Amino acid sequence: MLKVIGAKSLDDLFASIPEKLKIKDGYDLPEALGDDVLTRHMQDLAAQNQQLVVFRGAGSYDHYTPSIVKTLINRQEFLTSYTPYQPEVAQGTLQYIFEYQSMVCELTGMDVSNASMYDGSTSVAEAMFMAYAQTGQSKILISETVHPKTIAVVKTYARYRDIEVVVVPAKDGVTDLSSVKQGIEGTMGLIVQNPNYFGLIEDYDGFADVIHEAGGLFIMSADGQALALLKTPGEYGADIAAGDLQSLGLPMSFGGAYVGYLATIKKHMRKMPGRICGITTDVDGKRAFVLTLQAREQHIRRAKANSNICSNQSLMALAVTIYMAALGKEGLVQVAEESMKGAHLLYQKLLKTGRFENVYDQPFFKEFTLKADFDVNAFEKDLLEHGILGPLHLGDNNLLFAVTEKRTLAEIDLLVERVVAQP
């Protein structure tokens, strides 16, 4: 194997890892501990985590997880759920996947949804593969306002399919339709995000017509919570909806695990990776859940498969399903409104300090970008000393703030106080 790949030794396989990160003196493993002592040890380690008030988002948001979510996902029939190939013994798993898919379709305005994806970025990349299989084109457009990490994942996926990824420049913080018109011919379509990376709500009216006239597909990524308030991908005429549902009941968890969603219209259903669960009746006429559609190429003809993603974040999908069922439609709207109100309140208070200027004159949801007139690195350190994880620095003193329903007026005022205190 080493000879085939051109490596002289096993050490060559790890040459890209910096020397300072390699363990050279063996593992320093502790002695075995009793159950009680080990429990206290783990509690001591957990206590070292600093509890911060979070005003940072950019794809990972500090939303509240209701206790019902934490309780139900720990039931044994759900906790180890993985691959429901045997419907006779996996009715609980198949039912919540069916309900998850139904809820995602309602959120996005799409016809069908798969069982779930790893995260928002990989779901967008898989949407690109769907467009590739549907159109046969080898080039795709992606808006500059899409999250940079999503763009990076899309480019990584595209590299090994010889797909060219063209980034469409933004204009005033939003996707420029004129640039799309200039570059859409001969492509498989366009990928956009709403709200976009800068927190702005984009208006995609007219985009679908331009893309469809050129024979491409319109792919839209949207934050799960935002879909409770904003125009859906279906209403914009999108062909594929993809994104992350972390904001619907999943904790930040140091950046994961999260759950991506992927939904589409019936026309493109056969090109969608993963599985679709359906409902039917058994021989006794009782309600039963089954795997309705799944491309077997993912397992037995991998070279011909549109995608080799077979697994899904089933436990995360369950958590999201419980969250949406517990809150209901009105509850989802109310929580989204609280996040939006808090963001606009902080926005107004920060501008009143005279230490910021507005960057984009566009409507926003729960995130916004302001340009500071002080040292943002010193500001970040000051906030951490006061128990606050502050905004994300985008460069050029531009700061991306995020507010969720968890942020109180007192916490917002504390952040404003630290702004006023900056030299």
pLDDT digits (tens, 9 = 90+) for 99-111: 999 999 999 999 9
Task: Give the CA angle between residues 74, 79, 80 to the nearest 5°.
Answer: 165
* Cα end-to-end span (Å), the chain: 60
Cis (ω within 30 of 0) for the bond into 257?
Answer: yes
Q: In what order do the strands lie in the sheet with 139-143?
A: 112-113, 260-264, 240-244, 217-222, 189-194, 139-143, 164-168
Rounded to the nearest integer, the mean pLDDT of the chain is 92
- 297, with CB counted inside 10 A (0-12, 13-18, 19+), is middle
Q: Does the predicted TM-score (pTM) go above 0.75?
A: yes
**Residue 392: φ, ψ to 5°:** -85, 130
Q: Which is more confidently placed, 116 or 82?
A: 116
Please state the rounded mean pLDDT for residues 262-284.
90
pLDDT digits (tens, 9 = 90+) for 208-239: 999 999 999 999 999 999 999 999 999 999 99
CATH 3.90.1150.10 in the chain, residue ranges: 53-64+328-420
CATH of domain 53-64+328-420: 3.90.1150.10
Cα separations (Å) of 250 from 107, 188, 257, 280? Answer: 17, 33, 9, 31
Cα separations (Å) of 373 from 414, 419, 423? Answer: 19, 10, 10
Confidence at residue 33, expressed as pLDDT on a 0 to 100 scale: 92
Over 70: is that where the pLDDT of 310 sits?
no
Over 60: is that where the pLDDT of 81 sits?
no
CATH 3.40.640.10 in the chain, residue ranges: 67-323
CATH of domain 67-323: 3.40.640.10
Over 60: is that where the pLDDT of 295 sits?
no
